[in-house]
Amino acid sequence: SPWKPVLLLLSPPAFSTTCARCAKDRRLRQKRAISERQLTRYFVDQRKVRVVGGQGGEGGHSFHSEPRKVFGGPDGGNGGDGGHVIFKADQQMKSLSSVFPFYQGFHGERGGSKNCYGANGAHMYVKVPVGTLVKEDGQVVADLTQHGEEYIAAYGGAGGKGNRFFLSNENRAPKLFTPGEPGQERVLHLELRTTAHAGLVGFPNAGKSSLLRAISRAKPAVAAYPFTTLNPHVGIVHYQDYEQVAVADIPGLIKGAHQNRGLGMAFLKHIERCRFLLYVVDLSVPQPWIQLQDLKDELEAYEKGLSERPCVVIGNKVDLAQSRINLPLLREQIGERVIALSALTGDNLEELLLHLRELYDTYVKTEQSRGQSPVKW
């Protein structure tokens, strides 16, 4: 027969609970190496912005003139108002990298004859990510936490008055008109606090970046030698029902981070907006439960109650021999659930993905019961 049998090769499932070889096919895909210095242009969490409102248009100066009407009187209209500079939260924006250091509103037009007012200047809208804090002289003046929320950063100047405005019984032919007022000028500091659902919290070299690369398409820098992440990264975990869970890789903390040691306050602030926490502990170090307690102490010292949020403990590097010895000891020392996995080989990643979805579903139900809308990505 000319027909030959065709062997159909089925692709492996997204994750499996049987063996490490079938745990995660995504880990086999090679990702382009990128350095931490290059990543600064992809994720920016602070910006200094100078904003100036548009200048108001000057008032008109004219007198009405038509045949057989010699003294028509003043008819100069008022100038248009200058446009505002407005910050608008947009959930499509994930970084402050697209925010420029200077913005100015559009100017109002000059008042015309025949009592015509000048057109107002258009407003300048600046899109910023959801979760952006606006500070002036160290004080918080706005917190944009909802999609579509707006804050007027700089008001436009009022338009000038035309000579028609100054008409009175004492002055029937006023020549006076006023220029438009200048717009408001401010220097503001924008600060982005990550609004991810989950935050990876751990000491340097615990494997947080490798874990984020394994469960999402984020590309934080990793290497075979010890170093710490300098910029926070956000990865999206996709599920089959099209739900998306955002996981943030918070740069490694050290003892005394709440006193601004190391990277300190610059990245502890990103944990504030996370709805639940994933403590990443290196199982290969001696007494890994001490790491966990130190992490909770730093979070509690920074903000009271922060360490009491819903969480799960992740024991990373279970592929090492010493880690398998420390795992039962860690479970004896703490009363919380411990998920042992290996971000390098993909062992037991499916348990983390399933538990991550449970935490997300609990968060959504809690927000809906309070009458609030949960954060969606």
Q: Angle, to 10 degrees, between the axis of helix 349-369 and the axis of helix 208-215?
A: 80
List alpha helices for 84-149, DSSP H: none
Q: Is the pLDDT assigned to residue 377 strictly greater than 50?
A: yes
| CA–CA dist 74, 190 (Å, integer) | 48
pLDDT greater than 90 at residue 83? yes
Percent of the chain scored above 70 by pLDDT?
79
| % of the chain exceeding 90 in pLDDT | 20
Nearby residues of 96 by Cβ (< 8 Å), 6 or more positions away: 44, 45, 46, 47, 128, 129, 132, 190, 192
pTM as predicted: 0.65
CATH 2.70.210.12 domain span(s) along the chain: 46-192
Sheet harboring 139-144: ordered strands across?
Answer: 102-104, 46-52, 185-192, 132-136, 139-144
Q: What is the pLDDT of residue 7?
A: 43
User: Residue 41: is it exposed, middle or buried by C-beta count within 10 angstroms (0-12/13-18/19+)?
Assistant: exposed
Residue with the larger pLDDT of the pair 212 and 25:
212
The 10s digit of each residue's pLDDT in 189-227 is: 998 876 678 888 888 777 888 888 888 876 665 544 344
Cβ(156)–Cβ(124) below 8 Å: no
- What span, in angstroms and rounded, lies between the C-alpha atoms of 83 and 159? 11
In the chain, list all ranges with CATH 3.40.50.300: 198-370
Q: Identify the pLDDT of residue 120.
A: 93
Q: What pLDDT does 254 receive?
A: 52
Could you read off the pLDDT of 247-304 as tens digits, one per residue? 888 765 655 444 444 444 455 667 777 888 888 888 888 888 888 888 888 888 877 8
The residue that leads in pLDDT, 19 or 357, is 357
Domain spanning 46-192: which CATH class is it, in words?
Answer: mainly beta
Dump pLDDT digits (tens) for 33-57: 555 455 445 567 788 999 999 999 9
C-alpha–C-alpha distance, residues 205 and 198, integer Å: 19
For residues 189 and 48, the answer to whether their CB atoms sit within 8 Å is: yes
Q: CATH number of 198-370: 3.40.830.10, 3.40.50.300, 3.30.360.10, 2.170.190.11?
A: 3.40.50.300
Q: Give the pLDDT confidence score for residue 113 in this predicted structure.
A: 85
pLDDT band, residue 87 (cuts 50/70/90): very high
The rounded mean pLDDT for the chain is 79
| Distance (Å) of CA 5 to CA 1, 2, 10, 339 | 10, 10, 16, 45
